[in-house]
């Protein structure tokens, strides 16, 4: 963490965490106020790392905007569309650990939070008008729960789909690399993806490079992953894994997708995206392809079967599987669900035979 920005009704402060401890934030986080954040996951990870505590209540402006039709909007996008204000992007990729921070970076940091409460107010009004404030609050709670769970480094591999198809020692090594990545990210106060991507975890475990040059050549490994000694530490970790006798951990058995339903995944995923767009929802917020696969497999942990999504996605899909409705194209070429007629078209071959 290079800088902490705080704003409330009539004040805005910038705190240098390199100069002072942020531990006193624990008292603030324990209060009953709402922490308004944008794309909150990384900030919440920092709170857990620095204070071992999360705010009781959060409001993520990026998530909230997804419930009124925005697709993963940046903070600059929300400023421009909701407030008519353009934020400068000049300092976005700057080094926030440099000291002293130049005036343009200080101004950039302050602008990020100066009107965040106004954006929250506008989004809250929109959500209430659409009857979706409760949906958004469910999603905020799930985000907090996910950040809490991510602290368990030993189970970090469960969230990496690239590890699922690995077998034997390759899988065991990937699990160990995933655990190292989580621990390293916590120690160095970085998002997981900045340490190593999910693809990078699997790639490293399969190829087991022995030099920085070999590391750089692997898919999923970016130059930033190897900075500040991270590459050297990863190579040391791999050397230890190479010498160890590892067995892969097993995951809780999840229901398997029935073979006959596999062709339906792409079609239902496409319909779900269209359904979301029509309802002015971020399609990725409503359901991903993986959500649909889990739902069709009958996985009780499927995100699509819980909370507000149960009515939006799970119920229509169950009607589809029961043969009560069908997916069709409307005159504009959009996918829609409609009641089945129960009258299938006669195949051409049968028609010819009848003649």
> What's the pLDDT tens digit per position in 64-106?
999 999 999 999 999 999 999 998 776 666 778 888 999 989 9
DSSP-derived secondary structure letter, 52: S
Strands (E) across the chain are located at: 4-8, 11-15, 34-37, 57-60, 325-329, 335-339
> What's the pLDDT tens digit per position in 158-206?
888 888 788 999 999 999 999 999 888 878 877 788 899 999 999 999 9
Q: Locate 193 and state its tokens.
A: 């993806």
**Best mean pLDDT range from 180-194, 248-262, 308-322, 330-344:** 308-322
Q: Is it the case that residue 240 has pLDDT exceeding 90?
A: yes
Q: Give the mean pLDDT of the chain.
A: 89
Q: What is the pLDDT of residue 309?
A: 95
Q: Which residue has the higher pLDDT, 307 or 352?
A: 307
CB-CB contact of 181 with 197 (8 Å): no
Rounded CA separation 311/134 (Å): 14
Query: Is the whole-model pTM more than 0.85?
Result: no
Rounded CA separation 325/318 (Å): 9
> What's the pLDDT tens digit per position in 71-82?
999 999 999 999
The stretch 312-328 carries a mean pLDDT of 92
Rounded CA separation 124/116 (Å): 12
In this prediction, what percent of the chain has a pLDDT beyond 70? 95
């Amino acid at each position: 963490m290079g800088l902490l920005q705080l704003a409330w009704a009539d004040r805005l402060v910038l705190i240098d965490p390199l100069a002072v401890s942020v531990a006193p934030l624990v008292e603030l986080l324990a209060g009953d106020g709402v922490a308004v954040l944008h794309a909150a996951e990384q900030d919440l990870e920092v709170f857990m790392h620095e204070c071992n505590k999360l705010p009781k209540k959060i409001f993520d402006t990026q998530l909230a905007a997804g419930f009124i039709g925005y697709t993963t909007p940046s903070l600059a996008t929300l400023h421009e569309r909701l407030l008519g204000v353009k934020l400068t992007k000049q300092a976005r990729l700057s080094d926030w650990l440099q000291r002293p921070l130049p005036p343009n970076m200080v101004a950039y940091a302050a602008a990020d939070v100066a009107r965040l409460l106004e954006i929250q107010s506008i989004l809250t009004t929109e959500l209430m008008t659409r009857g979706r404030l409760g949906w958004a609050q469910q999603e905020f709670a799930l985000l907090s729960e996910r950040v809490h769970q991510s602290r368990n480094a030993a189970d970090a591999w469960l969230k990496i789909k690239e590890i699922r198809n690995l077998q034997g020692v390759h899988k065991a090594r990937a699990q160990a690399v995933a655990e190292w990545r989580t621990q390293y990210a916590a120690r160095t106060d970085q998002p997981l993806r900045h340490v190593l991507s999910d693809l990078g975890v699997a790639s490293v475990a399969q190829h087991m490079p022995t030099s920085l040059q070999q590391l750089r050549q692997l898919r999923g490994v970016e130059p930033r992953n190897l900075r500040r000694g991270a590459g050297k530490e990863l190579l040391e970790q791999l050397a230890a894994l190479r010498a160890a006798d590892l067995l892969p951990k097993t995951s809780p058995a999840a229901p398997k997708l029935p073979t006959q339903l596999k062709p339906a995944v792409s079609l239902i995923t496409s319909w779900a995206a269209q359904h979301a767009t029509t309802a002015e929802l971020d399609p990725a917020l409503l359901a991903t392809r993986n959500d649909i696969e889990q739902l069709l497999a009958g996985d009780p942990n499927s995100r699509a079967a819980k909370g507000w999504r149960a009515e939006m996605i799970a119920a229509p899909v169950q009607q589809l599987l029961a043969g009560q409705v069908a997916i069709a194209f409307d005159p504009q070429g959009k996918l829609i669900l409609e009641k089945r007629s129960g009258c299938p078209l006669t195949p051409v071959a049968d028609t010819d035979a009848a003649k």
